[in-house]
Amino acid sequence: MADVDMDELPQTPRSVAGDDTDLSMFSGESDLVAAILGRLGRSQREDDQHLCATAAAMAQAVRDQGVPGTTVAYFAAASAALSPLARAGPGAADRNVAGALLAFLSAAVPALPLAVVRARGRQVADDVARVLEFPSTPDPGVRAGVRCLAHLISAGDKSSWEAVEPLYAVVLRLASDQRPKVRSQSHSSLRDILLSFQRQAILVPASEAIASVFERFLLLAGGSNDASKGSAAEGPKGAKEVICILNALKCCLHLMASKPSNTILKYFRPLLDLHQPILTRCILEILHVVGDSPTVQLKPDVLLDLMCSLGLSVSTERKSGDELASIARLLNVGTRKVYSQNKNIFVVKLPLIFTSLGDILASEFEEARFCAVETFKGLIDNCIDENLVSQGITQIKARHQGMRSDPTVIEKICAILEGMLDVRYTDVWDKSFNVISEAFDKLGESSSDLLPEALKNLADMQNLSDDDFSFRKQVFLFNYRCTSITTCTNFRIAQR
């Protein structure tokens, strides 16, 4: 199709800028131009007006060629218009026209047949990448161009990393852009690209590129130790970029190849040790996504070390209710992932994790308390098995015969649970009953041996006056459950 004369594109007045128009609304429209003009024709936004003017010009170009107004034809017209702009360079390109063309292309590209993307996509992608590098390209156009470029990469030929890398590098570079909306668009586009790379060889170098950028910014920031001299948000050059990449990793790390992911993960512990809230929040959010992902494979020892570090921080650092709730939830999903990968290294850390959850339960924040209870119950149900219980019972019997030994893992856990009935937890005894009741259900006939102090404390609570004790109903229900467990246990023993 012949080039479009860019001088003929109508110039439209300025207006108040706002958020980007959701161009995905035009997906599936039989006539893209008619849809754009119909929905945005009365908009007072400057970028919408430029988009409508460009759409009208593309329609005229297609009519001049005597071809039907299909998405493919509009794409060809916009591509032909963009090419001379890209070749002209930033000094000669009209910024408004460039932005509108990128927006139009981003609306057209998702509806293209795959064959068209494979045949014409690379040339257009190169032009889009050049225009994205122009300093004069307006922010909405940059965001639209990133979306367009991501789709062309995702739908294009992925057999050669060398061919894809220059385009991918443009999207990755914008992940640390100073413009927040451009940055955010880059992050979501990186996610979409990595999704399209799954189970393909190209995923490894694409993931390594993200890890390399992260390491470079850490080095630029002066390393994790030097970065502690100022706040992470206002620290040395490179510190802001580290935050930007961490934000990108929230939606990308679980999609990356294992080795680069583990490379990144090893830096999280020293970053946590800086005690910067913004860093801690970012890492928590990343680890939540990792914990929820059924496919990501990270080194369980490194992941467990991070869980323990966060758990220990509960008692050593003052944290907000949101942070405590987030840590409690993470100890639930994250530790389950470690447990499924390497049960042996996880089990020995259970007492530390239970202690951390106990500290959260004793906090003043209701949501954090609730999350702690749910995590307690999940760990009791999923991670306490017959082997742990058997080891504890064997050691108890051996001590009764005069042997000396250190407490087993299950004994340490039960001691922590029994401690949840002391005065420190008075305000949350109802929640303590809930957790310990779960433990009684799990331990069954071994409860009386492993939780003797809990039974004694509950009996003492029954003797408190109503004025001193507001949880009598909960204790009654709890004792009823314990009695039921004991009765069933005695019945099973009698049948043997």
Reduced 3-state DSSP string for the chain: CCCCCHHHCCCCCCCCCCCCCCHHHHCCCCCHHHHHHHHHCCCCCHHHHHHHHHHHHHHHHHHHHCCCCCHHHHHHHHHHHHHHHHHHCCCCCCHHHHHHHHHHHHHHHHHCCHHHHHHHHHHHHHHHHHHHCCCCCCHHHHHHHHHHHHHHHHHCCCCCHHHHHHHHHHHHHHHHCCCHHHHHHHHHHHHHHHHHCCCCCCHHHHHHHHHHHHHHHHHHCCHHHHHHHCCCCCCCCCHHHHHHHHHHHHHHHHHCCHHHHHHHHCCHHHHHCCCCHHHHHHHHHHHHHHHHCCCCCCCHHHHHHHHHHHHHHHHHCCCCHHHHHHHHHHHHHHHHHHHHHCHHHHHCCHHHHHHHHHHHHCCCCHHHHHHHHHHHHHHHHHHCCHHHHHHHHHHHHHHHCCCCCCCCHHHHHHHHHHHCCCHHHHHHHHHHHHHHHHHHHHHHHHHHHHCHHHHHHHHHHHCCCCCCCCCHHHHHHHHHHHHHHHHHHHHHHHHC
Give residue-wise pLDDT tens across range 69-80: 999 999 999 999
Spatial distance between the Cα atoms of 61 and 78, rounded to a whole number of angstroms:
9
Q: Do 199 and 260 belong to one domain?
A: yes
Give residue-wise pLDDT tens across range 182-214: 999 999 999 999 999 999 999 999 999 999 999
Q: What is the SS3 assignment for 369?
A: helix
Does 80 map to a domain?
yes
Does 225 map to a domain?
yes
Least confident of 5-14, 135-144, 298-307: 5-14
Q: Do 83 and 206 belong to one domain?
A: no
For residue 3, give its domain range: 1-157
Last residue of a domain, one of 295, 314, 348: 295
Burial readout 6-23 (b: 16 or more C-beta within 10 A, e: otherwise): beebeebeeeeeeebbeb
Does 275 map to a domain?
yes
Q: Do 83 and 137 belong to one domain?
A: yes
Last residue of a domain, one of 295, 312, 336: 295
Does 317 map to a domain?
no
Residues 341-352, mean pLDDT to the nearest whole number: 92
Q: Do 143 and 7 belong to one domain?
A: yes
pLDDT over 70 at 294, yes or no: yes
Q: Do 52 and 143 belong to one domain?
A: yes
7, 302, 337, 423 from 290: Cα distances, Å: 51, 13, 9, 37
Q: Do 7 and 151 belong to one domain?
A: yes
pLDDT over 60 at 233, yes or no: no
pTM (2 decimals)? 0.84
* Helix, strand counts (H, E) of the chain: 25, 0
CB-based contact 482:440 (threshold 8 Å)? yes
Q: Do 239 and 93 belong to one domain?
A: no
Mean pLDDT of the chain: 85
Per-residue pLDDT, 117: 93
Give residue-wise pLDDT tens across range 438-462: 998 899 888 888 988 887 777 666 6
Per the structure, the count of domains in the chain is 2
Does 86 map to a domain?
yes
More confident residue, 211 or 46: 211
Last residue of a domain, one of 93, 128, 157: 157
Q: Do 139 and 79 belong to one domain?
A: yes
pLDDT over 60 at 241, yes or no: yes
Q: Do 149 and 239 belong to one domain?
A: no
Does 412 map to a domain?
no
133, 146, 203, 238, 439 from 169: Cα distances, Å: 11, 11, 14, 18, 52
Q: Do 4 and 72 belong to one domain?
A: yes
Does 9 map to a domain?
yes
Q: Do 152 and 4 belong to one domain?
A: yes
Percent of the chain with pLDDT over 70: 83
Does 94 map to a domain?
yes
Q: Do 96 and 213 belong to one domain?
A: no
Q: How many residues does the chain have?
A: 496
- pLDDT band at residue 492, thresholds of 50, 70 and 90? very low
